[in-house]
Chains A and B, each alone.
Chain A
């Protein structure tokens, strides 16, 4: 079975060699060291060499060759290759397959099929003009089904972000303990469930919970927020329906017909329905976190097939287990081992970005703040506050938000009622919007824009964090 399919490849390879066949040096392919050694020893330096060796034994053939004949020919090719390498034909087949697989993994045409020369270079190789991208985005935006952002239900924040937390992007939320990161994430989870009809993305949310905040009390909080959202949506829908009815009354003097569904809100849109669409993965150590994240695509595909696509992925928080791990390592070996972790972290960041764009979901990662030694610090304490996980992570994220208590950023401000719950959110990095700040409060109902008496307060100029 395997041999015959391979034989088809070889069959396709039997066209005259094309001039623009690409020959890669073997050392650039992810091959087993032993494979590489044995090939190099026998004088094979590039994929072209191997391709030639496989074809040397080719006899002329007719197109109406039977399967058996094809297999035979393949055998003889491999025999020839094996002779050159000085190994058995099954080993030769193994090596040929490996080179093919390696080529496929770097997205090059398979060795034996590369010289057909018939296919044109795909137009996608050339860039797309910015204008056409914008056009396609616009047209997608016009259809109400594909909203590009998750609305946060907090006006200043939505303004700051240009409409909400963007899909297909990686947004980072940094903050000191107790600043409201998890609460904001919970609000976003609830908001992600908002029906498309009401301007939401109507998706599910996935939470990777490494800090244990999403159980017990956290779920109660989620429930409160969900209840508030449902009430809000139903309330506004009812008002709209009433306004419409009033208009109709004025126009026609009587009811034309009363709508059967009282508000147009989907039946599933209840607090229970919202919570049912929030999937929580509670991970207890770094290994579990890594495994769970890397195997997420399967879950996402399943959800999509069930018609319940995931639109938000919250990692709360990415830093926790990495910080456990990095310190545990240094304890064992006595040396600072942040470097091996950087590697893993970069891989993770790339993976999250890919996930975001492939499944069109918003990835929100929480991050800690850590104390960094700084010799030339102005305050004289020799330390400064920086987001943890380091520089390479900072480059990976699309947008970075920082949350802090208003009172602690702007200590001189006069005390105003409700100030304890006032937070300032700073957009530090974003490809869409200029940096700025937004004030919000944490209420019983969730994250909301600051009430009028507080929104007048001066926005602080800087954060406590050094970026």
Chain B
């Protein structure tokens, strides 16, 4: 539960204890007779809550924190004096404060063997260069963005992440599909191909698998991926609110393998191993927001500030929820973003930034503007080599991926192609040869 929405009535009564130095004053101020002790404190509490609610419709901690001591004094009159108001505010501050963790502890938790090449706390992408540069893959507890133009392989890469996370046994995934592009068949295909290459036992062969095993690797993947399909921003926010429950449920199931609870997905085989949720994918973030917030951008006539503010608000709100989920449940959050087009005034207005691909700099503006870019920790930009949307170049299937924002990596690019197995890196040798 977020601190913002915590109800004041849910705060413990101990916060109100000794708020007034002389308890007998509580009754005197309320012009009632004192019953003494606990009763008075409860009475005071009720009185304060009632006044806050009636006078200024203040019910949550967030609303309360907006009040200055003087405002509070006027609202609560005559329950508390100025000094007592300040005391109450201080106590609520202290009660709602977040405890600290030292950096060393975080490191030991998420990364038990820092010096070893252990990939704890990372989800492999199946792309060697990317994995190496990001110290093992996409980090958990943080948000990673995949941005690129249509058809460059964003959805393929995200599906591949689901598959690899499940095959390696690292965890299950939640796939929020806002563009109706998620293909279960493709997921299964990647799963089959990948499990053949990687081998469930580490064997690297494409042998015929016996019938008992045949569907198993793919099923393991599909069973551990839940799909939410939605269209509007409102639905997205609602879904994010509900995810907590689902994650808890699935993590519980993962702990008790024999527990045959509710089955996600379409298959009825419940003896498949359940994995705790480690990956949350939103494909894509841009679609619903673009759909719901139309940014009319006539250069002379800038978009109405209200629309822009609301859009930024929604973006930050989504980001806030994602961050909380990522942190609370140790998820790797992967967000797919489209490339901004047309809406030039949103680019930042610097004149040096354009909204189309800027391949020399390896950086281009994703949609959603700068507000969103503050919200992500790692950013992978995918590009076509040449313009794939021109017909005569359809043969050229090579694409380029660039790490454009990361705390651990420099800007690095590498080439890849889309195959049956999903996204596969092209090594320098194969390119030259």
A residues near B (Cβ < 8 Å) are 2, 30-35, 88, 90-91, 94, 97-98, 101-102, 104-105, 176-178, 182-183, 189, 206, 211-224, 272, 275-288, 290-292, 294-295, 298-299, 317, 320-321, 323-328, 330-331, 336, 340, 343-344, 347, 368-371, 373, 377, 379-385, 407-408, 411, 420-421, 442, 464
> CA of A442 to CA of B406 in the docked complex: distance in angstroms?
11
- Tell whether A343 pairs with B320 under 8 Å between CB atoms, given A101-B82, A275-B104, A284-B327: no
From the candidates B62, B110, B349, B405, name the one contacting A287 in the complex (CB within 8 A).
B62
B74 pairs with A33, CB closer than 8 A: yes
A411 pairs with B100, CB closer than 8 A: no
Interface size on B, residues (CB 8 A): 102
8 A-B interface contacts by CB (under 8 A): A102-B81, A177-B376, A178-B373, A216-B140, A275-B103, A280-B100, A285-B62, A381-B351
- Which residue from chain B places its CB closest to the CB of A283 in the assembled complex? B98
- Tell whether A90 pairs with B100 under 8 Å between CB atoms, given A212-B377, A343-B68, A464-B350: no
B78 pairs with A291, CB closer than 8 A: no
B residues near A (Cβ < 8 Å) are 2-4, 6, 21-22, 24-25, 28-29, 60-62, 65-66, 68-70, 73-74, 77-78, 80-83, 86, 90, 92-104, 106-107, 110-111, 114, 121, 134-135, 139-143, 299-300, 302, 305-306, 308-310, 312-314, 316-317, 319-320, 323-324, 326-327, 344-353, 361-362, 369-371, 373-379, 404-408, 410-411
A331 pairs with B310, CB closer than 8 A: yes
From the candidates B24, B83, B103, name the one contacting A105 in the complex (CB within 8 A).
B83
> CA of A331 to CA of B314 in the docked complex: distance in angstroms?
9
> CA of A32 to CA of B370 in the docked complex: distance in angstroms?
46
A102 pairs with B65, CB closer than 8 A: no
B residues less than 8 Å from A381 (CB atoms): 299, 344-345, 347, 349, 351
A residues less than 8 Å from B22 (CB atoms): 2
> CA of A392 to CA of B212 in the docked complex: distance in angstroms?
69
> CA of A91 to CA of B302 in the docked complex: distance in angstroms?
61
> CA of A383 to CA of B301 in the docked complex: distance in angstroms?
11
B102 pairs with A33, CB closer than 8 A: no
- Tell whether A30 pairs with B404 under 8 Å between CB atoms, given A279-B102, A287-B65: no
Q: With A212-B327, A215-B110, A320-B316 given, can you name 6 additional A-B contacts, CB distance below 8 Å?
A: A177-B370, A177-B405, A216-B121, A325-B62, A368-B370, A408-B361
A411 pairs with B313, CB closer than 8 A: no
B3 pairs with A291, CB closer than 8 A: yes
> CA of A408 to CA of B121 in the docked complex: distance in angstroms?
34
B residues less than 8 Å from A177 (CB atoms): 370, 373-374, 376, 405
Grouping DSSP codes into helix (H, G, I), strand (E, B) and loop, the A interface class, with mixed when no group exceeds half, is helix
> CA of A30 to CA of B80 in the docked complex: distance in angstroms?
12
B349 pairs with A330, CB closer than 8 A: no
- Which residue from chain A places its CB closest to the CB of B111 in the assembled complex? A220
Nearest CB of A to B76, in Å: 8
- Which residue from chain B places its CB closest to the CB of A442 in the assembled complex? B410
From the candidates A219, A347, A411, name the one contacting B352 in the complex (CB within 8 A).
A411
A residues less than 8 Å from B143 (CB atoms): 212
> CA of A216 to CA of B136 in the docked complex: distance in angstroms?
12
From the candidates A285, A286, A292, name the one contacting B97 in the complex (CB within 8 A).
A292
> CA of A78 to CA of B110 in the docked complex: distance in angstroms?
64
> CA of A343 to CA of B68 in the docked complex: distance in angstroms?
9
A residues less than 8 Å from B323 (CB atoms): 211-212, 284
Give the 4 A-B CB pairs with smallest separation, nearest first.
A327-B313, A177-B373, A383-B349, A291-B96
Nearest CB of A to B404, in Å: 7
B residues less than 8 Å from A182 (CB atoms): 407
A30 pairs with B82, CB closer than 8 A: yes
B135 pairs with A217, CB closer than 8 A: yes
B407 pairs with A286, CB closer than 8 A: no
B317 pairs with A324, CB closer than 8 A: yes
A217 pairs with B82, CB closer than 8 A: no
B107 pairs with A223, CB closer than 8 A: yes
Nearest CB of A to B430, in Å: 26
- Tell whether A278 pairs with B306 under 8 Å between CB atoms, given A216-B139, A321-B320: no
A382 pairs with B349, CB closer than 8 A: yes
From the candidates B306, B370, B374, name the one contacting A330 in the complex (CB within 8 A).
B306
B residues less than 8 Å from A321 (CB atoms): 320
A280 pairs with B103, CB closer than 8 A: yes
Q: Which of B25, B100, B369, B376 has the most CB of A within 10 A?
A: B100
Nearest CB of A to B322, in Å: 9
- Tell whether A327 pairs with B78 under 8 Å between CB atoms, given A90-B28, A211-B374: no
> CA of A343 to CA of B67 in the docked complex: distance in angstroms?
10
B residues less than 8 Å from A102 (CB atoms): 81-83
> CA of A34 to CA of B348 in the docked complex: distance in angstroms?
53
From the candidates A34, A90, A276, name the one contacting B25 in the complex (CB within 8 A).
A90
- Tell whether A105 pairs with B82 under 8 Å between CB atoms, given A214-B103, A291-B65, A323-B312: yes
A residues less than 8 Å from B80 (CB atoms): 32
Nearest CB of B to A381, in Å: 4
B residues less than 8 Å from A221 (CB atoms): 407-408
Nearest CB of B to A219, in Å: 5
B101 pairs with A279, CB closer than 8 A: yes
B residues less than 8 Å from A284 (CB atoms): 2-3, 320, 323-324, 327
B residues less than 8 Å from A278 (CB atoms): 102-104
Nearest CB of A to B366, in Å: 10
Nearest CB of A to B350, in Å: 5
A residues less than 8 Å from B69 (CB atoms): 30
A216 pairs with B2, CB closer than 8 A: no
From the candidates A104, A212, A281, name the one contacting B100 in the complex (CB within 8 A).
A281
Nearest CB of B to A91, in Å: 6
> CA of A43 to CA of B137 in the docked complex: distance in angstroms?
76
A residues less than 8 Å from B369 (CB atoms): 371
B residues less than 8 Å from A91 (CB atoms): 28
B142 pairs with A216, CB closer than 8 A: yes
